[in-house]
Structure 1
């Protein structure tokens, strides 16, 4: 180990600065969104079998509710614009703007060059959990997704029901595109119901048993027309194993709701980011 400089403690004591203060972010009108929730009806429901994934679609202004059904189960969520797979959920920027875990009032942002809200979280029945004594919290945007490549790297085995593979199969089925083409569009996820954090000593990403119960849900309003894919993770509640056929796994349901006519009066779907994409080349 390199010798520490004489002012090492002073350097460590430097005050942290929030990278992206959110006080200038356009706030969602949560009162409007809550009123829209009061009189909405179910228009579609997609059941996601254990260790599989399924796609769903939601029009701008509709509400999506991801529901735990039979037992504790984590879900890996991907989102795309329904009009182009090039616009997809950007977990890293969502994390930078809202923190490592998201809940009611936070937004799910899309990738460059679009960078606009794809969805706004409108209800979370696990908001009571907060941050536990281990530093764990629920609904993270820090994990990637379990995948067959890392599984092969660490175990030497080929496992085909990792969330990455589940999402790839589901997207191929939905779009009719070949697996090798759609795989590039599968991206880092929102880990719905997953309880995660970083260890204080080694700063390693950890998971622990999800506190989710049958009937719990995470809900969001679609800010744009969405194509979604949800995988019921092969780790089940992720309390013991990340990807296996041994963990107890359960279905998840994606429910699509339509608010009453006029319930979102004044609301408009956000436009793509206004940056001119010149990148200084023509200044």
Structure 2
């Protein structure tokens, strides 16, 4: 029997405990939805997936199947096993937060990945770390030009595309269905949608 598929509702987050060797599939049902993704090492969560250390280890801006993603202590935490999407993911952009939306002109509360991260960990009785690590932004399309300019574009992923990771150590993974609806980060319709995930024991 195949493992069940779980839903992260649009604009929200979930924390998932993974034992070493477990396999995690992260799925974008519409192809348009970005998933801010973190991996932290329990119990104290001080060690976490680090984008800057991973870029250094890989020598490039994004991972390819077979690559290990490493922690702030340069230890492999996740191995990318499979990617059915065009392989466009972002490792540069910070998680959206209340201030980000204020700068974009939003007034009042706006759902955001920063709050989703904190809420998701508290829901499984873990205290969030004092500093929010930079996320791995799955399916996020942030092209860069030769002169270093960045732009925020719609994802090129297709409906049902997924990435598959293997946990190399015991982890807590946080997934946030990014609530961005001002820029075309989640597609040109500016409509965030749910994401799916599946965990298979190693």
Fold-level similarity (TM above 0.5): yes
Aligned equivalents of 1:51, 1:145: Cα separation in 2: 13
| Partner in structure 2 of residue 108 of structure 1 | 69
The answer to whether 1:76 aligns with 2:36 is yes
CA RMSD of aligned residues (A): 2.4
Deviations 1:44-66 (A, max 9, x none): 54311111111111100010010
Q: 1:184 offset after TM fit, Å?
A: 2.1
| Partner in structure 2 of residue 187 of structure 1 | 133
| Partner in structure 1 of residue 154 of structure 2 | 209
Q: 1:172 offset after TM fit, Å?
A: 1.9
Question: Highest Rg: 1 or 2?
Answer: 1
Q: Which protein is richer in helix relative to its size?
A: 1
Aligned residues: 199
* 2:173 alignment partner, one of 225, 228, 232: 228
Q: Secondary structure at the match of 2:141?
A: strand
| Partner in structure 2 of residue 47 of structure 1 | 7
Q: Secondary structure at the match of 1:160?
A: coil
Q: 1:254 offset after TM fit, Å?
A: 1.7
| Partner in structure 1 of residue 90 of structure 2 | 140
Structure 1 length as normaliser, TM-score? 0.64
Q: Specify whether residues 157 and 204 from structure 1 end up closer, same or farther in structure 2 by C-alpha distance, changes over 3 A only.
A: farther
Aligned equivalents of 1:153, 1:209: Cα separation in 2: 20
| Partner in structure 1 of residue 198 of structure 2 | 255
Contact 1:234 1:242 in 2 (8 A): no
Q: Secondary structure at the match of 2:137?
A: strand
Deviations 1:61-95 (A, max 9, x none): 01001011245211000110133211111111111
Aligned equivalents of 2:166, 2:113: Cα separation in 1: 24
Q: 1:100 offset after TM fit, Å?
A: 1.0
Q: Secondary structure at the match of 1:97?
A: helix
Matches within 5 A, 1:51-200: 51-98=11-58, 99-111=60-72, 114-126=73-85, 129=86, 138-155=88-105, 157-175=107-125, 177=127, 182=128, 184-200=130-146
Q: Secondary structure at the match of 1:227?
A: strand
Q: 1:41 offset after TM fit, Å?
A: 4.6
Q: Which runs of 5+ in 2 are unaligned?
A: none
Aligned equivalents of 1:149, 1:172: Cα separation in 2: 22
Q: 1:144 offset after TM fit, Å?
A: 1.5
Give structure 1 regions of 4+ aligned residues with deviation exceeding 3 angstroms: 156-160, 240-243
Q: Secondary structure at the match of 1:212?
A: coil
Q: Secondary structure at the match of 1:139?
A: coil
Aligned equivalents of 1:123, 1:41: Cα separation in 2: 17
Q: Specify whether residues 242 and 68 from structure 1 end up closer, same or farther in structure 2 by C-alpha distance, changes over 3 A only.
A: closer
